[in-house]
Each structure stands twice: as structure tokens, then as C-alpha cells.
Amino acid sequence: MKSLSVIAALLGLLAAGPCSAFSTVALPADFKPPPVFKNNMLVHVISVEKTYAKEQINVMLENVSDEPQSEYFLPFTAEQIARVGAVEAKDRKDDTIGPFGVDLVEYDALSDVQYYRITLPSPLKAGGQYPLAVSWVYLNSYRPLPASIGQDEQQFLVYDFSLFAPSAYTTLKQKTEVKFSTVTIPDYTTTFGPEGQEYPQKVGSKMLYGPFDEQPAGAFFPAQVRFEFTKPVIHVSTLERDIEVSHWGGNVAFEERYTLYHLGANLSTQFNRVKWAQSQFYNPASTALKELKFPLQIGSVDPYFTDAIGNVSTSRFRSSKREAMLELKPRYPVFGGWKYPFTIGWNTNAANVLRNTADGGHVLKIPFFEGPRQAEGVEYGEVNVRVLLPEGSENVKYYTSIPDSSIVEHSVDVHKTYLDTIGRTSVTIKAKNLGDEFRYRDLVITYETPLAGTLRKPVVVFASMLAVYAAAWALGKVQVGFSSK
Amino acid sequence: MAAKTQGPAVGYTTESTRTLLRVVILCFIAAAAISSRLFSVIRFESIIHEFDPWFNFRATKYLVANGFHKFWDWFDDRTWHPLGRVTGGTLYPGLMVTSGAIYHALRTLTIPVDIRNICVLLAPACSGLTAFATYLLTNEMTTSPSAGLLAAVFMGIAPGYISRSVAGSYDNEAIAIFLLVFTFYLWIKALKLGSMLWGALCALFYGYMVASWGGYAFITCLLPVHALVLIAMGRYSTRLYVSYTTWYALGTLASMQIPFVGFLPIKTSEHMPALGIFGFIQLIGFIQYVRSAISGRQFQTFLVTILVATFGLGLLGLVALTSLGYVAPWSGRFYSLWDTGYAKIHIPIIASVSEHQPTAWPSFFFDLNFLIWLFPAGVYLCFQDLKDEHVFVVVYALFGSYFAGVMVRLMLTLTPVVCVAAAMAASQILDTYLSWKSATPVEEQEAPKKVKGGLRGSDKPNVGIYSNLTKVMVSGSMLVYLLMFVSHCTWVTSNAYSSPSVVLASRMPDGSQHIIDDYREAYQWLRQNTKEDAKVMSWWDYGYQIGGMADRPTLVDNNTWNNTHIATVGKAMSSREEVSYPIMRQHEVDYVLVVFGALLGYSGDDINKFLWMVRIAEGIWPDEVKERDFFTPQGEYRVDEGATETMKNSLMYKMSYYNYASLFPAGQAADRVRGVRIPDQGPVLNTLEEAFTSENWIIRIYKVKDLDNIGRDHANAAAFERGQKKKKPTKKRGARVLRVD
């Protein structure tokens, strides 16, 4: 009953009120981060193992001002800010100090430098040091080079970055580490360190640049790596996820609509079926997306896989006590530059995800989004989750462990469907720029359903049927036409 | 059920029990009718079938998305590129409007039903209504209480009707047959009662029918013929006058509201009988009035004068108007109803459709089973008391049989009358042989379910059946026939009429079902990975599907309104690349789609349809495309090594077999449809490149190459790509001679 204890713990959280979601801070147009910090030692880890780039900086902060400080600013270029997502800040030493508040700074929309503001849990006293870890992901982070390849050729991607970590403060010493999923890295930027040593050092599928000596705020050193990535570059521009909770049916229905693109290298010639059919015997690494595997929650039933023109028969569902794996094959292999939108859905017994609390309320705990499990990763431009609660639900509270900085919008509305009279309470949460490592982050919703709301529908349906019969009977009694008598 | 039949007791409770029982039975019949049409939904999925339904579906989606007024004024620039089609004015909107109305009604009740599901299930739902309408119509014909129910069952499950109304077969016929039968019922009702109200109702449903299906002309011709026969039989009555006049006046006005019909009811020959009888009936009405006013002798003279004058003037007027072009002569499709060979010679496009072929006689049995031999018996029974309504059945039976023999698809209009007549015959037999009034009543346990209260027959003074053995044998054999009918209908529906034809089913070696989904694979690829306005050229059969599933503009589609345009596509397909390429460039074609079944043995492919393309193209360009050139000197249509040069160089042949041989080891490339070996050296394409081929090669899509960058022609450019040396003209050297000094 671990999940129950988790729920109990979360309930304590929820008591505080609805989740603090994405917020922005408005600052004057001529804002500049005050130089109150110094980065003593900074390690910049860039991971290009998946279809999206993940960056992390581990930094030892020092407050160099005279007053306690709690706001640390992290700069991005204007071009990056649209693609960056899931900015999460933590204490590097102590995991229990939860994710810190991260806000997008709104000050001058035209400026080339934009900031995220990280609020430390407690102000750092003058001269004090603090180990901070910040991570984020970039979407659309690569470009294929060559931009078009043959159907059976290897794909190479290029990633542009700065050898110096983005910082609004002076950095005394820093290192940059790039992680790959391959050892085939034909091209990369080389440079020399302060003592003339050659960078980077290659260790297996890693590259180490640095250490570098002191750099001023905003220092930038353009660098580029080109690496082999003969896998699909899957980009889901929008994922719409609907969850419908039915108390009468004891069922929770999921439906997900994916708009999927392959952002890898385009085909240099047209698709050749003969070549494709022949290569299938050897099953070589290919940039084409052939299969998507969705590990659904155990106990999921009735899955379906459709697209704009109906059911796609090439899917398989393996369900057992240990797994519920939905394996989908798109209608055609998806190559670079191609698109394949589709819909999947399934049901699950409400008992798997819904609990009643002692005081008559309900707690729904589901993953914020699930998505396919692909070794190469999947990036999500937009994730819109909508949860339809039973008609008449009230006192709705929700919480999600998706990074706040990725949540764009959240609201509680009313949605009318299936013979509703007052409509169902719906919770809508929109998030952007996420990688598939944030799958299974929780979404917890608590709500109450008064008895009147539960009984409303059967009563209304019964009454209207009665009314129809009564009307039919009354109409049957009406004498139409002229009686000859 | 037998317990309910306690003689003609006229008790209130018995009466209401019977009514309740009837309602329950009718509900069961409707349920049986609906559920027998759901084979394809259960076996495959809720999907729109075949070709035309895809257009109706697309139009319905347009209606739901854009509202009625936009739909009415819809100009579709995504078909018949570059001409476009005034879709709103050239379709029968009844079907789409019905689905749209259901959709909005359900939405008002906040039931979120997908428009596709409404479209898929509309035909089965209407079949339930058709069964009910047949029940009403039959009840007008006979006093037997069981005939109506039998007719409803027959109508509900007769394959002749199921063929056009399975779930997913979202075609005009889906609702039109219900409207047809119901209109006939209202007509009979109006005629019997001489009621203007029923006449107006009849006109209303006639209007709905006109809005739904081109087959409305059948009603337009049948009702006047019925009226004429009645008049000729000396059965003119004010009832006939009132009902016919009401129907014609209101019905014609209603039909003229449909843009596609417009002024046709007063301009084309198909509609002239109705107009003529309308005038004639006025005349007779007038004469009847005069007869009551003037003396006998004067009346004689008056009658002769007026008849001769009217007929002469009417005929002259019609001939004059026709020759002046105000009244259109019979259309080609109509001619082919009289002369089955007409279409083959003059309009290959009509003849190329399989459902326009004359009916083979086994298909009567296939579609109607034992109804077909009960049918004459029922018609004979109509002659027995021959009231006005029986004359209708006789006339309908006559015309229906003729048309059903001429065109396969018109089996549909015959089915209702067959069901009515057969039900009358069957109920007559059952009523007679299941009668209790004999010397010793017998317990008849085998009484078929739908038959009840078989006592009315005994009201008449009648010779009874005295031997129980006879009763048991006759009703027993009838029961066997009925059971065989049910099993036959189920078998036919399940095997012949429930394939969506968009997806094909096959069996894996272990017996599990494997779905071959090449059509949708290719259409989805087109939809997702080509430009929004990429023009797709294909044979017209696939036009509606491409529009509906791939959502791409097409050159020609199943509407076939422009023969020349279709012939242009036919010419492009059947000519050499050098001829086809300019045609494709002129029509801004981006992709060409062909259907190719050789790998799978799918026989409905383009190579098998190819001769029709050739014929249709030949009709317009007899000098450039010749059917004869596609046959070998021995007169064979071959695709293997022995194919003619014209065949091998035609675009269709090249697109079909391009690269096909490379799928096989050398010398083993085979065409499984035509059962021949294909040469290893496949055709060479210069102006097109293969863009997509579906998993089982059923659909092949080619991209039309742009003009060459450096101005070479495509043949040279392609040869260069292949690395072939440019052939240099060899220089003529003089004869070698020894050097002489």
C-alpha cells in the first residue's frame, strides 16, 4: 500500500491549495541581474543521447554581495527560450529539498537575453555558499548533416552549443562534458586549455572540455559536435490526453492524440519499397520509425489505435499480470520529414487509479502523460491534459510533479457530454517542451461528488423517458381529422 | 404464439394484446434487419465502404462543418482539377442532410457520436424503417394479418436489399429504399381514401425521395403508369383524381426545390409521363363534369373532338419542344435501360461499371432465394380480387422485373415488390394450411414464429383442408423454405455483401485473420507527406477515395460528369511517356496513383481495368489511342514478354511493373492475377519516379518529375543518371586501304 501512503502525503500537500503552476515575474524593461553571485566551480553536462538535448549545470554558488540573496538568474538566448523546457532546480546535496521555484522573467521581449529566475528555498547569507543543480531540455536541438540521406544510410546530427555554461555571473572555473549514445563522432570543435592542453578528452562515448579559467558573465564559446544517430528523431508537436472518470461504470478511459513528426534527415531519393522490403530481413539500424511501444498501466484493457481514416490493424497488445504493452506499427515506416498523427486509447478499472478518502472525497492519481517508450527518446512540444471528472464534482484540487516551468496554463471548467445536464467538471493542464523522461510524473486530483450529483443522471434520464411516454400517450389521445359522426 | 389465436374474438384486451404483439414482432424484425447488416462492423471496423460512400461521407463532413447554406453553395475545387465541381448543385442532398440532422439532434442531447458512426449505421437503421414501411404497404394489399409481418421479415433480410444497405454502405440507396416503399404506401393510402392529406404526405415523401436518389424517376414513372392503367380499366374515380393531382402538383414543386433537379420535371422526357397523365386526368375530370351537364349525343361529339384535339396538340407540342431543344430527349443512361447493348457502343463509361451490366439469372436467386418463385404466385393472387392497389402491385411487378433484368443495381427496386407479393403468397398458404377450422383441429407446433392468427381466411366460405397430414406437410415444407431463406440470407450477407473493399481480409497460416490495409496505408501516406494541394491523377474509380481518405485534389472521380476529362486521363495512362508527360504537366499533376494486384493476386487492379481506359480514350482520340494495338496479333491481352509494344510502352504498364521483377530472384517474377511470368528486365521510367509503394504493392504512387534543370529531355537525363554513355554518332570512315607510297 505504498501508493496509499504517497497519496496521504500528497493530501497534506494539497491541503495547501491548488498547485502553484507556471508563473512569470514581470521586471522593468532595463532589468539586468545584479552581480550578487559568483559561480565558484561549475560543471556543465550536456547529454545528446536522446532525440532532445538535456543540459545540466552543477554549480557551487557564492553570495558576493553584502546582503542575503535568494534569486539566481539563468540566461538563455531569445532563440533558445522558445525551445527550452522543464527547467528544474534542486539542491545538489540534499534531495529532500524539493524543486525550487523557477519563473520565467518577463522584461524586454526584444532583448536577446532572457532569464529564468530560480528562487532558493532560503536566502543565502552574505559570503555563504550553496550547491545548486539546474537541469533543462532543448527541443528541436539538432540538425541533420547531411540534410538528406539514402534510405539505408547512417544519419548524423549536429548540435551547437557553448563550451561555457550560460551564466549571468562570473564563473571562476568550469568544465563541460558532452555525452553521446555512440562513439562515432566524426566532427567536433577542438580547442586548447589555459595550459595549452588539447580539448576535448574523449572517454568512451563522452567528451570532456575544460577546466577553463575565469570567465565573465555571459561568456560564450561556440562549439559544435556531429555524431552518428541512426535512429528516428521523434518529435510530438502536440499530445492531447483526455482522461474520463466514470464512477457509475467504475472505469477510467484514456485517449491520447499524437501529432508525430520525424525531424531527422530527409530521404535523398524517393522511398523505395523493394529496398525496404529486402532490408527488413537483416533489420539494420535505420532512421525510419517502424514501431512504437507504449507500456500502459497494468490492468489496462480495450486498447485502440486509429488515425484520421480509421482503425490501424497493425497493433498488438500484450497484457499480463506484469505488463500491458501496446505495440503500434504506423501504417508506413516514418522517415525524416514525414509525419504520422494518430490516436490511441484504452480503459482501466477505476480501482487501479482512484481511491476514496475517509471523508467521502476521491483521489485520482495518474501519470501526467505516458507516451511511447523508445530507446532514442521522444520530445513533446505541447502536452495538453484534460481530466473529466464525474458530473457535479466539486472542491477540485490538483497537483502535478511536472516541472512548474513547463506548465503553461491550468484551469477547471465544465464540459458537457453524454446526456449531462449541468456538465462535468474538467481539469485542464497544458505543458510545453518536455522530454519523455518526464513520463510517469504524477498528476493527483482530489474532488468530492455530492450524492445529488451522482444521482442526477439516472433521475434525469428516467424522468425524460417518462415524459416521452406521457407525451406519446397524450398525443395518441388527440382526435385528428373530422369525425363523420 | 399459437395460444394467442383464439378465434376472431373482438375483445378489447385481445385487440390490444395483438397490437402489442405486433409492435414487439416489428421491433424484433427491425432488430434482425439491423443486426444482419453489422457483419462488416464486427469483422472489420466502423468504416465507410467502397467508392461512392466516401464522397457522401466527405460531403456530410463538409455539411456538418460548414452548415447548410455553405453546403448548398459548395464549389469543390479539389476534384476535377482544374475544372472543379459545383458539388452543392450536382448532388442529391437528402442523405447528407439526414445524417447531419441526426448528428445535430444527438449533439443537442449532448451525445457525442462521431459523424462517421452515424454515416456507417444510417443504412442499417433505415432498413428497420423499410421493414416497417413494407409492413404497412402489405397491409394495404391484403386482409391477412400475417402477410404484413412476413413481408417485413422478407424485406428486412432479403439480400437484394442488404447488398446496398450494410453498415458502412453510406450511399443514397441507404435511405432511398425506405422512402420508395413509404411513398408507395402513402400513394396507396391516398388512392384508397381519395384523401388530399395522404396525397400531400405522399408528395412530401416523394420530395424527400427526389432529394435523396436519382432513382426517384422510378416513382415518377410508376405512379402515372398505375393511374393510366386504372383509367384504361375504366376505374377512373374522384379518389384517383384527388390523390394523383395532389401528389403531382405538390410533388413536382417539391422536387424542383432540389438544385440538381431544378426544371428537369418539366424539361426532360423521363418526367413527361407524369405530366401527360396529369393533363389527361384533368381532361377526364372535365369530361366527367361535362357528361353530368349535357345530353348523351352531344357528349359523344364533344368527347371525340376534345380527345383528338388534346392528344394531337399534346403530341405535336412535345415533338416540337423536343426538336427545339426545350425538352431534353431521353438520356443515355435511360436508353441503356431499353437497349442493353446501347451503352457498350456509345457510352463506354457507363458500360465500364459492373453494376450497370445486365443481370445474370442466377443472381435473381442469389438475391431473393425462394421469394423469386413465390413472387409470381403473389402477383397471381393480386389478380384474384384486383382492387386498385392490386393493380399497383401488378404494374410495379412488371416494370420492376424488367428493369431488374436490364441492370444489376436495379434489383434493388424490384426487391420491395417481390417481398410484398411473396409475403401475400406465403401468408395465403400458411393461412390456409394452418387453419384450425377443420374436422379435427391439430396442434401445429411447427408454426413459423411470425405467423399468427391464421383465422381470417376461414371467414370466407372456403373449402377446408381436412387431412392433418396435408396440413403438416405443406406448412412443414413452408417452414423448411423459410428456414432455408434465413440461412441463405445470412450466408449471402456474410460472404458477398459485407466486405468494405477498402480493407481486404486474408487468413494467416494459423487461421487468424490478417488484414491487408494497403489502400489506407497509401492514402494516409499521401495525406500526411505530400503538399496540401498536390494533384493526384488516378483512374476515376479511386477519385472519391482519394478525396475522402487522402484529402488531395484529384483529376477525375466517380462522379464521371465530364467524359472528356476522363478520356484525357485514360489517354495519359495508355500512351507513351513522351505523350503522357505533357498531358500531366498541363494538368499540374504531382502524383500518379495506380492499383496493382500482381503480387497479391488482387484481381480488381488497374491492368484489368486498363482496356476500359483505352476504350474511353479511344472514344475521344480514335487516331491516337487504338484498342487493337493493345492486343497481340492473335487477339490476346498479354502483359508478359509477348505483350505488344504499345502495351509495354504505355504509362499504365510501366507504372504497374516498374521495379517489380527486382523483388524476385531472376526468372521468377510472376504476376499472380494474370498467372504469367514477367520479364526480368522491367520497364524503364523517365518522366516519373516511384514515390511510394504500399506493403503488398497494391497501391503504387509515382511522382511526376519536374522539368530537367539543364534543359535535357527526361529520357537523356534518366539515361545519364543510370550512367549510360551518350551514344555518339559513329563516324563513317573510308574503306581501309594499305598505305601506298
Q: Which residues of A touch B41 (CB under 8 A)?
A: none
Burial of A155 (0-12, 13-18, 19+ CB in 10 A): buried
A304 near B CB under 8 A: no
Q: Which residues of B touch A481 (CB under 8 A)?
A: 197
In angstroms, the separation between the Cα of residue A330 and the nearest Cα of chain B is 9
B596 near A CB under 8 A: no
Domains by residue range for chain A, with CATH: 31-228 (2.60.40.1730), 234-263+291-329+337-459 (2.60.40.1730)
pLDDT in tens, B335-346: 666 676 676 677
Residue A338 to residue B528, Cβ atoms within 8 A: yes
Q: Return the C-alpha torsion angle B272, B277, B278, B280, nearest 10.
A: 130
B42 near A CB under 8 A: no
Residue B110 to residue A418, Cβ atoms within 8 A: yes
B82 CB contacts (<8 Å, ≥6 apart)? Answer: B587, B588
B487 near A CB under 8 A: no
Q: Which residues of B touch A313 (CB under 8 A)?
A: 503, 515, 517
Lowest mean pLDDT among B31-35, B250-254, B360-364: B360-364
Q: Kindly tell me if the per-residue pLDDT of B716 is higher than 80.
A: yes
Q: Which residues of B touch A272 (CB under 8 A)?
A: 659, 690
Mean pLDDT of B266-280: 86
Cα B314 to Cα B273, B317, B491: the distances in Å are 12, 5, 53
Interface of B with A in 643-672 (CB under 8 A): 659, 662-663
Closest-approach residue (CA) in chain A for B659:
A274
Residue A29: predicted pLDDT: 81
pLDDT in tens, A433-485: 999 989 889 999 999 988 888 888 899 999 999 999 999 999 988 877 666 65
Residue B524 to residue A309, Cβ atoms within 8 A: yes
Query: With pLDDT > 70 as the criterion, what percentage of chain A qualifies?
Result: 94
A270 near B CB under 8 A: yes
Residue B523: predicted pLDDT: 94
Q: Which residues of A touch B521 (CB under 8 A)?
A: 331-332
Mean pLDDT of A69-82: 90
Q: Which residues of A touch B46 (CB under 8 A)?
A: 310
A339 near B CB under 8 A: yes
Q: Tell me if B187 sits within 8 A of B196, measured CB to CB.
A: no
Q: Which residues of A touch B663 (CB under 8 A)?
A: 274, 277
Mean pLDDT (chain A, rounded) = 88
Cell of B186: 402513402
Cell of A474: 397524450
pLDDT in tens, B237-263: 999 999 999 999 999 999 999 988 888
Q: Which residues of A touch B694 (CB under 8 A)?
A: 273, 332
Residue type, B321: L
Size of interface A-B (CB pairs under 8 A): 74
B64 CB contacts (<8 Å, ≥6 apart)? Answer: B100, B103, B104, B115
In angstroms, the separation between the Cα of residue B623 and the nearest Cα of chain A is 36
pLDDT in tens, A195-205: 888 888 888 88
Residue B253: predicted pLDDT: 94
Q: Which residues of B touch A419 (CB under 8 A)?
A: 109-111
pLDDT in tens, B135-160: 999 999 988 888 999 999 999 999 99
In angstroms, the separation between the Cα of residue B539 and the nearest Cα of chain A is 21
Give the C-alpha separation, A321 to A336, whole Å: 37
Which position has the higher pLDDT, B713 or B65? B65
Which position has the higher pLDDT, A278 or B442? A278
Q: Which of B512, B692, B693 to mutate to test the interface with A (most CBs of A within 10 A)?
A: B693
Cα B387 to Cα A232, B133, B141, B233, B390: the distances in Å are 77, 20, 9, 11, 5
B649 CB contacts (<8 Å, ≥6 apart)? Answer: B576, B577
Domains by residue range for chain B, with CATH: 517-721 (3.40.50.12610)
Q: Tell me if B155 sits within 8 A of B164, measured CB to CB.
A: no
Closest-approach residue (CA) in chain A for B688:
A270
Q: Kindly tell me if the per-residue pLDDT of B354 is higher than 90.
A: no
Residue B529: predicted pLDDT: 92
CA atoms within 13 A on the CB side of B391: 22
Residue B242: predicted pLDDT: 94
Closest-approach residue (CA) in chain A for B529:
A338
A419 near B CB under 8 A: yes
Identify each DSSP E strand in B434-550 by its residue range.
504-507, 513-516, 535-537
pLDDT in tens, B196-210: 999 999 999 999 999
Residue A111: predicted pLDDT: 85
Q: Kindly tell me if the per-residue pLDDT of B6 is higher than 80.
A: no
Which position has the higher pLDDT, B174 or B449? B174
Rg (CA), chain A: 27
Residue B734: predicted pLDDT: 63
Q: Which of B61, B507, B524, B530 to mutate to test the interface with A (most CBs of A within 10 A)?
A: B524
In this complex, which of B515, B529, B693 lies closest to A273 when CB atoms are compared? Answer: B693
DSSP-derived secondary structure letter, B546: I
Q: Which of A309, A386, A420, A468 to mutate to test the interface with B (most CBs of B within 10 A)?
A: A309
Mean pLDDT of B278-282: 90
A68 near B CB under 8 A: no
Signed CA dihedral, B58, B62, B64, B67: sign only: negative
The length of chain B, given as a count of residues:
741
Residue B330: predicted pLDDT: 67
A418 near B CB under 8 A: yes
Q: Predicted confidence band at B726 (pLDDT cuts at 50, 70, 90)?
A: low
Q: Predicted confidence band at A252 (pLDDT cuts at 50, 70, 90)?
A: very high
Query: With pLDDT > 70 as the criterion, what percentage of chain B qualifies?
Result: 90
Cell of B664: 524476385
In angstroms, the separation between the Cα of residue A335 and the nearest Cα of chain B is 10
Lowest mean pLDDT among A108-117, B144-153, B531-540: A108-117
Q: Which residues of B touch A307 (CB under 8 A)?
A: 524
Q: Predicted confidence band at A358 (pLDDT cuts at 50, 70, 90)?
A: confident
Q: Which residues of A touch B549 (CB under 8 A)?
A: 309
In this complex, which of A271, A277, A331 lies closest to B524 when CB atoms are compared? Answer: A331
pLDDT in tens, B403-438: 888 888 888 999 999 999 999 999 999 888 887 665
C-alpha B43 chain-centroid distance: 23
Residue A309 to residue B515, Cβ atoms within 8 A: no
Mean pLDDT (chain B, rounded) = 86
A469 near B CB under 8 A: no
Residue B689 to residue A270, Cβ atoms within 8 A: yes
Closest-approach residue (CA) in chain A for B109:
A419
Q: Which residues of B touch A331 (CB under 8 A)?
A: 517, 520-521, 524-525
Give the C-alpha separation, B489 to A444, whole Å: 54
Give the C-alpha separation, B662 to A213, whole Å: 62
A129 near B CB under 8 A: no
Q: What is the pTM of this model?
A: 0.89
